[in-house]
Structure 1
């Protein structure tokens, strides 16, 4: 033990003393200077200086949200700084969502910070960089961005560059087998054709310069509809709120020259026209095979003045392009290479899956109608109606039937199909009611269609008035025999027969379970005491503000009460209260007499 202690003491004597490492002030200042230079030259260097809790990856996850918030608030300069940091920090991130966020933001920031400068070429180069960053495994995203670049070129009048880009797309083997490739190629040629002949295809009272500026939008509804990308935290477009008009609204559309794809795909309602449209008596023959279709366009199309006149009277949402009445100009337009290529590739798109072929339906129908292929256009629409349950092909079919088959039973069937998909469409319902007034539509069918509309919406007073008149007319001209004879059941003939006669007050169509459910639901939806109280308060408020200010509200309540008297009986609470209100006001005798007529009708449904 003693020897060991002595040996340990010897080693302790040999061990040198620790001296602190002294760093000169020059070295420290040099490090700070280098760090400052790195922070200025490489913004992503700052992310590497963070502590363990606030790691680089956590901050990179926050930056996309910050960037989207800045763009939504239109804070373009701060967004540019954040985008610069995000670009440096995600150089190796090749995901489609992150690329879309970065390059869409770059395009928006550049467009707003340099709004007075023509940035078309510079934005085109951004698209080139964006396409180069997309990996080979993301073919759909690459195709979509490529089409967005083409739309950008067309929008800024760079038609030759757009044509070169679409030719490159056609020659790309990786994208050739994608279902949307034919769609985007066909739409590109379609829009190039529209721009080339925009002066010949527009009315004289429309400014062509305005139409050219509205030919396309880089992010059209067609591209959004066909996009395969999912909305995520990286998407800039998901934050942009776009106001769309409801397809069921009634709008008095004027003929405009906007021929953008988004305008062609949306806005399916038209002004109500109850008069009979002109009938096209000599439609061309039906083209069965694609080979015959190709030959028909290659050999040229004959000029038909009757068809041109009908197409000029088409609803603007279906055909905003008016074919010229000059035969030479018409042949020049139809025999153009852009026109033929657009028809060719859009026809090929119809063989694609339904969500892709649906996007090509509207422009293809327009081109076929202008080219004189009416029967083929109708056949394409019918095939699409059988393939998808979407409102667009049914509206197109109804609009075409109005012009080419106005007196056929197919027109009523088209209107019914539209209402079954979109029962809130007032325009289609009024067209059916016009057919009913012309004895071209049955009473049972019009009552059923109005009931569908009442189920899906809160109708305007005119619809309630038509509903009440249909119910009244239905009972006054009831054809079915509602008397039943019940024998005694003996089955033997005798001099004295025992039988009883029963009178069924409810028509057969109203004994269905669906009408019972409707009547119960409408008690709360349209005829409850709370709703009546709200309507009366609104009526009194409007009446106090101006003379006869509550007339429209009174019309609504009186027509609803007329319908309720047929459905629930003349002593129903909604009916009696509204009738008493009309008697007290005494300023509209017409409404009072109308409601009194409906109350005196003894034939009510009594389905509850």
Structure 2
């Protein structure tokens, strides 16, 4: 083979390997229309088909938007559209087993099932939804699985399915995965508590039917106080909107709708209380001893049951504040003994006591129901001991409120009652109800004015007080200046005093600042209140209200001015302007006389020179 043939042969092979190009098949317009028509039918019949259209990134974007759309539809109560969106979301997130996504989907499904076809009995259907939900939660998410299990139990009890609830709680107790979880004892104890209350609902029903809800009337969504300590991630996957979260600071298994006048906690900023009386019902200065000896006491506490029926104790418990004890024990001895010897009661007390050994965020949630059980069982001493230990353990207002309410009934004349009120105000200085109780104690039980004025000052720092508080504040100031100790005054003798009949004159000079007002905290308060309560802008706003005939505002301004005259002096700008307002209006003669009386007292806590630079803008 020649050299030329060798060089030309590869070219021949290359030409033989070249394939002819395929001709494009022309697609008719009818076929295109038929394809579009089939796709449209799929989109209508199967909404999840839309998720498969487009690129992977577009599909992820669609899925991320669906929770927001679903949440908004639920907020608008558009159940039909929410059901369709939920169907698409279910299909698109079949492999997503995260707790947040599961909670969104199944809580939404429960709400939709509850509101669609309201006349149908849906308790069993919702129970099966909980079963599916629990099965979707992996074993690595033990806390979430335990919480959903407890929510299912609450659903059973709410709908009178106590047998299913009992079976579920027994399964929960036997589950090894939950043995070491801190909330497991809490949920088990609460379940037995609710079963016990449901079993003896007639015996425990308060005399006032408007007092509260039945123990079974729990909200469908388990966002109540018993679960509020559970750790949940707040995200877009939460079904509940921000406005649907219950604004409750108390934790009780059975909260009363009616707010008692003895309640320490305020039910809102708009709460109005004309007067708080500590002796609104009978007090028992010497509560009966419940146990004959310490040995009997230990045995009784072991079972959580009082050995004897004590009618005096039942009477005290019947008069307890509804917030603390909404359940009223029966006066029938046989019925009472039957209740406190019930197996549900014993198991509830047992697991609640075990919960006290858990971390504080769990034990605090069990405190209120445990105290209710101990009081009904007659274990008053243990209940007080548990509350005091919790007060030392956590810095939370709930145990202090419980302690104060118990002190009111069992130790009303004790000095510790005032200390309990002070502890509440140290944590929550805005609690006007507790402050008014201290004011009543200062008038009737000798509570010191020094302590009272300090508590009022805390309240003034943290809130915008009612006129009654400003009035009492002014009265405390004038009390201090009118009852100064001898070491606060100097008596100067004018004259030589040699002649017996010679008239001698004396001048008495007071220390302008009582000792308690010389510390730095009161100085800071005086500066802070200048901008918070006595600023020109605040005064202008209040004057505009009085121009429209707002008598309460005028009253508050008068009492505030009386306080300001003692703190900053009678020539203080707020005082003089309010004084002029009252002087020119004959309708406010009593308020004018009140302010004039306080303004005539020339004593003041701080010199005007001290605040000269601050007061220049008046």
Give the TM-score taking structure 1 as reference length.
0.87
Please name the residue that 1:329 is paired with.
335
Judge which range, 587-596 or 199-208, deviates more.
Answer: 199-208
- Please state if 1:471 is matched with 2:477: yes
Question: How far does the alpha carbon of each residue in 1:245-275 deviate from its partner, in whole angstroms, 9 at most, with x for none?
Answer: 688xxxxxxxxxx963697999852772233
Q: In 1, are the aligned partners of 2:185 and 2:354 still within 8 Å (CA)? A: yes
**2:211–2:257 Cα contact (<8 Å) kept:** no
CA distance change for structure 1 residues 72 and 601 in 2, over 3 Å: closer, same or farther? same
- Distance in 2 (CA, whole Å) between partners of 1:135 and 1:264 is 42
Query: 2:54 maps to what in 1?
Result: 50
Alignment of 1:47-446 (within 5 A): 47-51=51-55, 54-206=57-209, 211=214, 214=217, 217-242=220-245, 244=247, 260=254, 269=265, 272-275=276-279, 277-281=282-286, 282-284=288-290, 292=299, 294-297=301-304, 301-446=307-452
Q: Distance in 2 between matches of 1:312 and 1:227?
A: 32
Q: Which moved more, 1:73-82 or 1:8-17?
A: 8-17
Q: What is the aligned partner in structure 2 of residue 497 from structure 1?
A: none
Q: Aligned partners of 1:77, 1:128: CA distance in 2, in Å?
A: 24
**Residue 534 of structure 2 corresponds to residue 527 of structure 1:** yes
Q: Which residue of 2 aligns with 1:576?
A: 576
Q: CA 1:597 to 1:15, structure 2 compared with 1: closer, same or farther past 3 Å?
A: closer
Number of residue pairs matched by the alignment: 574
1:526-565 matches, within 5 Å, as 526-542=533-549, 550-565=550-565
TM-score (norm 2): 0.85
Q: Which consecutive unaligned segments of at least 5 residues does structure 2 have?
A: 267-272, 492-507, 611-618
| Residues 1:93 and 1:51: Cα distance change in structure 2 (over 3 Å) | closer
Say whether the 8 Å CA contact 2:213–2:254 is kept in structure 1: no
Q: CA deviation at 1:136?
A: 0.7
Aligned to 2:501: none
1:433, CA displacement in angstroms?
A: 0.6
Query: Could you tell me how far apart the structure 1 residues matched to 2:519 and 2:211 are?
Result: 57
The separation in 1 between residues aligned to 2:51 and 2:219, in whole angstroms, is 41
Do the aligned partners of residues 72 and 343 (structure 1) sit closer, same or farther apart at CA in structure 2, a change above 3 Å counting? same
**Contact persistence 2:226–2:253 (CA under 8 A):** no
Deviation at 1:24, TM superposition (A): 8.6
Measured after TM superposition, the shift of residue 23 of structure 1 is 8.3
CA contact (8 A) 1:211 1:259 kept: no
Q: Distance in 1 between matches of 2:238 and 2:167?
A: 29
Describe the shift of the 1:90–1:265 C-alpha distance in structure 2 as closer, same or farther (beyond 3 A): farther
Q: 2:453 aligns with which of 447, 450, 457?
A: 447
Cα distance between partner residues in 2 of 1:365 and 1:213: 20
Aligned partners of 1:373 and 1:264: how far apart in 2? 27
Q: Deviations over 1:56-109 (max 9, x none)?
A: 222222222222122122222221111111111111111111111111111111
In structure 1, which of residues 496, 511, 525 is the aligned counterpart of residue 518 of structure 2? Answer: 511
2:616 corresponds in structure 1 to none
Distance 2:232 2:363 in 1: 18
- Shifted more, 260-269 versus 341-350: the winner is 260-269
Given the superposition, is the C-alpha separation of residues 194 and 164 from structure 1 closer, same or farther in structure 2, using an over 3 Å criterion? same
Task: Give the Cα–Cα distance (whole angstroms) in 1 for the partners of residues 210 and 118 of structure 2.
Answer: 24
Q: 1:390 to 1:10 in 2, by over 3 A?
A: closer
* 8 A contact 1:453–1:459 mirrored in 2: yes
Preserved CA contact (<8 Å) 1:264 1:363:
no
Partners in 2 of 1:562 and 1:176 — Cα distance? 62
State the shift of 1:114 in Å.
2.2
User: Which runs of no fewer than 5 residues in structure 1 stay unpaired?
Assistant: 248-257, 486-500, 543-549
Q: Deviations over 1:137-179 (max 9, x none)?
A: 0000000000000111111111111111111111111101111
> What secondary structure, in the 3-state scheme, does the structure 1 residue paired with 2:344 have?
helix
What is the RMSD computed on CA atoms of the aligned residues?
A: 3.2
Q: How far apart, in 2, do the equivalents of 1:41 and 1:431 lie?
A: 67
After superposing the two structures, state which structure 1 stretch, 27-36 or 421-430, moved more. Answer: 27-36
Describe the SS at the equivalent of 1:179.
coil
Aligned to 1:199, what secondary structure does the other structure show? helix
Match of 1:494 in 2: none
**CA distance in structure 2 between the partners assigned to 1:13 and 1:380 by the alignment:** 97
1:335 Cα deviation from its structure 2 partner:
1.2
Q: Call closer, same or farther: CA 1:57–1:166 in 2, change over 3 Å.
A: same
Is the alpha carbon distance of 1:588 and 1:483 closer, same or farther for their aligned partners in structure 2, counting shifts above 3 Å?
closer
Which is further off, 383-392 or 82-91? 82-91
Given the superposition, is the C-alpha separation of residues 17 and 292 from structure 1 closer, same or farther in structure 2, using an over 3 Å criterion?
Answer: same
Q: For the structure 1 residues 215 and 265, does the alpha-carbon distance in structure 2 shift closer, same or farther, using more than 3 Å as the test?
A: farther
CA contact (8 A) 2:566 2:604 kept: yes
> Structure 1 residues 581 and 38, CA, compared in 2 at 3 Å: closer, same or farther?
closer
Secondary structure of the 2:284 match is coil
In 2: Cα distance, 1:354 partner to 1:514 partner? 32
Distance in 2 separating the partners of 1:231 and 1:390: 23
User: Which whole-Å CA distance do the structure 2 matches of 1:80 and 1:290 have between them?
Assistant: 58
